[in-house]
Amino acid sequence: LLDWYRKHGRNLPWREKPDPYRVWISEIMLQQTRVDTVIPYYRRFLRRFPTVAALAASPLDDVLKTWENLGYYARARNLHK
């Protein structure tokens, strides 16, 4: 499996720094959404909310605005809770 991954694995931004917050954000964004669609949203979201504390301290409207056009806005609201 590891040999296959070294040959065929994709270079994805949430694998660069696999801390729990980044993995959590990627898992939520990837629900019913294609990887290619998620990547730019993931990068923008983490620039705006680099930590769970930054996310929690931000107004919900900021979170929803950053999530805009990714769809399934309940995911963003649940992240903010």
Phi then psi dihedrals of residue 28, to 5 deg: -70, -45
Q: Is 27 among the catalytic positions?
A: yes
The pLDDT of residue 17: 84
The pLDDT of residue 45: 98
Q: How many domains does the chain have?
A: 1
Write the single-letter amino acid at 34. Answer: R
Residue among 12, 23, 24, 27 flagged as catalytic: 27
**Helix pair 60-67, 35-48: axis angle to 10 deg:** 150
The pLDDT of residue 49: 98
The enclosing domain of 47 has a CATH number of 1.10.340.30
Domain coverage including residue 56: 2-80
Q: Are 79 and 28 in contact (CB under 8 A)?
A: yes
The pLDDT of residue 69: 95
List the chain pLDDT tens, one digit each, 81 residues: 999 988 998 999 999 888 999 999 999 999 999 999 999 999 999 999 999 999 999 999 999 999 999 999 999 999 999
Q: What angle do CA 23, 29, 34 make, to 5 degrees?
A: 115
Phi then psi dihedrals of residue 62, to 5 deg: -65, -40
